[in-house]
């Protein structure tokens, strides 16, 4: 009799755990972002959606944040995959270390030659980097590795990528990396980038500041190859 009672207790506990896990998964699927935001015209609801992706623990950027940030506005630039590189925690400290968020950008040769020389052309990339660095506590650097493809005359980079396997599968030529570190971001905004999302209200104020953000020089690192 006791064994049967114990069996039913264990069975009910396991069933409840399964239901809770399934319910959590459904809830996460329902609230997952499905559209990109216009970073130049963010409403209060848009800012709330960004803030909901705040992450202090994982060594990658939340997928929902990348969805909200969306594709680049400049049709000459297209994302071509992403990766994360972990680093060890500082000496004497436990837990996860910082990580690097890298995205590959494919463009045409003319834009490739101009992009690393013109901070104004980098503005969208810099704003994305600032938001990522603000909302992901463990993120130390956001890097955009730029390559180019020889497009046919009148060609479009998005159509070219689609015709050649899609994002993450197109091998570009050349290579340099625009690197935006947490230190760079703190200098760019005049205070600690990791403090601007301490609360929802502070993050709202930070996002409003970004509407007037003037881009500054990035650290250019030669070599963006995948191999």
Average pLDDT taken over every residue of the chain: 80
pLDDT in tens, 120-137: 899 999 999 999 999 998
Radius of gyration of the chain (CA): 21
**Mean pLDDT, to the nearest integer, of 66-95?**
77
Over residues 75-89, the pLDDT tens digits come to 899 999 888 887 655
17-26's contacts with Cβ under 8 Å and 24+ in sequence apart are none
CA 5 to mean position of chain CA atoms: 51
Task: Tell me what pLDDT residue 215 has.
Answer: 87
Please give the full DSSP string across 9-27, using - where no structure is assigned.
HHHHHHHHHHHHHHHHHHH
CB atoms within 10 A of CB 93: 9
Tens-place pLDDT, residues 174-224: 889 999 999 999 998 999 999 999 999 999 999 999 988 888 877 777 665
Q: How confident is the model at residue 162 (pLDDT cuts 50, 70, 90)?
A: confident
Where do the DSSP E strands lie in 39-93?
77-86
Lowest mean pLDDT among 5-19, 49-63, 156-170: 5-19
Burial of 184 (0-12, 13-18, 19+ CB in 10 A): buried
């Amino acid at each position: 009799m006791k064994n049967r009672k114990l069996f039913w207790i264990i069975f009910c506990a396991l069933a409840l755990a399964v239901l809770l896990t399934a319910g959590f998964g459904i809830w996460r699927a329902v609230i997952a972002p499905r559209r990109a935001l216009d970073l130049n015209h963010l409403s209060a609801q848009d800012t709330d959606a960004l803030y909901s992706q705040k992450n202090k623990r994982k060594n990658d950027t939340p997928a929902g944040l990348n969805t909200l940030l969306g594709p680049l506005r400049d049709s000459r630039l297209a994302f071509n995959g992403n990766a994360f590189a972990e680093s060890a925690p500082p000496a004497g400290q436990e837990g996860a270390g910082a990580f690097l968020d890298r995205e590959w950008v494919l463009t045409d040769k003319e834009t490739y030659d101009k992009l690393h020389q013109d901070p104004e052309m980098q503005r969208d990339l810099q704003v994305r980097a600032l938001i990522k660095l603000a909302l992901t506590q463990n993120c130390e650097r956001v890097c955009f590795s730029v390559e180019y493809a020889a497009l046919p005359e009148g060609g479009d980079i998005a159509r070219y990528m689609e015709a050649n396997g899609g994002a993450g599968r197109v091998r570009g030529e050349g290579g340099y990396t625009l690197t935006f570190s947490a230190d760079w971001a703190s200098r760019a905004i005049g205070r600690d980038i990791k403090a601007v999302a301490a609360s929802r209200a502070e993050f709202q104020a930070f996002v409003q500041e970004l509407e007037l953000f003037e881009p500054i020089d990035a650290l250019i690192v030669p070599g963006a190859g995948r191999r």
